Amino acid sequence: MGRAAYEALVQRMARPQETGAADAREPLAEDTESLPEDVRRWLADRGLLDGEHQRVRSPQRALHELVAEHRSRIDRCREELHRGLEAVDDVLRLLPDMAPTRWDIVEAEFFDDRTRLRQRLDDLDVLCQEQVLCMRTSFPGREVLEAGVESDVRLLERGIDLRLLVTARALRRTGVGHYLSVLMDHGAQVRVAATVPLHLNVFDRAVTVMAVGTADGHAEASGDVILHSTRLAESFVRVFEHHWATGHPAASTVRRPGTGGAPEDYSPREREVLALLAAGAKDEAIARRLGCSERTLRRLLTALVAKLGADSRFAAGVQAVRLGLID
């Protein structure tokens, strides 16, 4: 039924009947009852018939009643909501000591399988943005070191500040010297201490990976845990920095002390850096040639100077000439 048809129906049913006002209601009832059922249903669904479905209402009245009904329903819902909120407040007032601001929730991941742990560490390496601090009481076998050195090198080439503090005892394991040499060649800083209290990694001073249940300071632990907490990580960073200050550069231990090693100990990359330095190239140009950042280059140069047993870049150049590394 269209609006025009409805308005015509209202006007027709509202006209006074010739038989007088007293008889006007009955014809209206007959008219509405004579309407088709679908028309009556359409009018009733929209509130346009009275309660007995005998008289057509005006749209204004129907709309007014509809709004009033919804307003009443909203008022009832508002009252129920306020009562519910007051009940929640009453319960919270009974638990003053359970305020969440008094607690720090630390997310922890536990591992009893080193293979799964290494897979998780690969994820953390990729997510790392600035720095990795490592303490090592021991190292895995040569096969594991060789499998992991490439990912560590990629970490360094991204400009990540990688520092390792290891025990002198840990250096005795087969393959460790070569592994650390490769890392130092790519800019890692490595120091050796008499003892190291923990076996751990700290990523970006926010995530700590630590062996737990160790015996006699060895890495053969009963498991490992990853702690996602900046506060805990900062505490472990302070422990690391304290012991880092007591260590000495690993270059003097990993390689033959005082000689700078033999020419075959130097990679083509290191020889290229030394040649560019001897040619007077600036750090920016060398970094561009190597395809790395200047920060990575500076760490590489620091490690290279230490490897040559020199105390400056000039002295390192002299030592490189003496060893036949550059013309």
User: pLDDT tens across 159-205, in order?
Assistant: 999 999 998 888 878 788 889 988 998 999 999 888 899 999 999 99
pLDDT band (50, 70, 90) for residue 39: confident
**Residue-level pLDDT at 99:** 47
Q: What is the pLDDT of residue 23?
A: 41
Q: Which residue has the higher pLDDT, 255 or 317?
A: 317
pLDDT of 43 reads 73
Neighbours of 216 (CB within 10 A): 6
> pLDDT band for position 102 (50/70/90)?
low
Phi, psi angle pair for 281, to nearest 5°: -70, 145
State residue 191's pLDDT score.
92
- Please report the pLDDT score of residue 152 as a whole number: 92
Q: What are phi and psi of 201, to 5 degrees?
A: -130, 140
pLDDT top residue among 131 and 279: 131
- Which percentage of the chain shows pLDDT scores above 90? 24
pLDDT: is 38 or 141 the higher one? 141
Looking at residue 319, its pLDDT comes to: 76
Kindly tell me the sign of the dihedral angle through the C-alpha atoms of 138, 140, 145, 147: negative
**Local confidence band at 66 (pLDDT 50, 70, 90 cut-offs):** confident
Q: Which residue has the higher pLDDT, 53 or 149?
A: 149
Confidence (pLDDT) at 109? 93
Weakest mean pLDDT among 40-54, 117-131, 143-157, 230-244: 40-54
Structure tokens at 169: 């005892």
The predicted pLDDT at position 69 comes to 81
Q: Does 216 score more than 80 pLDDT? A: no
Mean pLDDT of 131-151: 90
pLDDT for 30: 39
What was the pLDDT predicted at 190?
Answer: 92
Residue 266 has pLDDT above 80, yes or no: no
Alpha-carbon distance 270 to 277, whole Å? Answer: 11
- Domains in the chain, start-ordered, CATH in brackets? 3-57 (no CATH), 107-254 (3.30.870.10), 263-322 (1.10.10.10)
Question: What is the overall mean pLDDT for the chain?
Answer: 78
